[in-house]
Amino acid sequence: MQDYHDLWVSKKWKRAGEICPNFKLFGKDISPNDIMQGGVGDCYFLASVASFAERPNRVRAMFHNKVANSAGCYLIKLYVNGVPSGIMVDDLFLTDGFKMHFANCKNEKLWVPLLEKAWAKLLGSYTRIDGAYIESEVLHTFTGSPSKNMLHDVFIKDQT
């Protein structure tokens, strides 16, 4: 795990509207191609988000708000231990002054960084989501349905 001290000192927290005044929550569509990884090692999370984004209506259903709002507050439905729970997040993001440091979304959309922020809040912080390998936990948290990771023989043989 990397040392985050320098990260926090050299970056600034900004509201989404300060980063880009034209942000939309979803835009015209939701696509796995919207997702851009940022400065934290949560590719396992973003891979799960991408697979979930294959069904845009499921992503929209996670958000109580259906459009960006001036208050910058978003209620996101996740399943905590199988129970539907609302996770409230704001649109304050760590930036290098011009762009978001963590996950971002193409075409000025907010849904990806808001989902990542809700995941980080659920786990305790952005540092807690760095460098894990738990796709099944992400999908379980998104859907409430059981899921598990499966290693295939090809993967195991390549690791020896």
List the pLDDT tens digit at each of the 160 positions of the chain. 455 566 567 788 999 999 988 899 998 899 999 999 988 888 888 988 999 899 999 999 999 999 999 899 999 999 998 899 999 999 999 988 778 888 988 888 999 999 999 999 998 988 888 876 666 788 888 888 777 766 666 655 555 5
Q: What pTM value is reported for the model?
A: 0.85
Task: Name, in order, each residue with C-beta under 8 angstroms of 100's C-beta and a sequence gap of 6 or more.
Answer: 19, 38, 93, 94, 113
Angstrom CA distances, 21 to 8, 17, 70, 108, stand at 24, 4, 11, 9
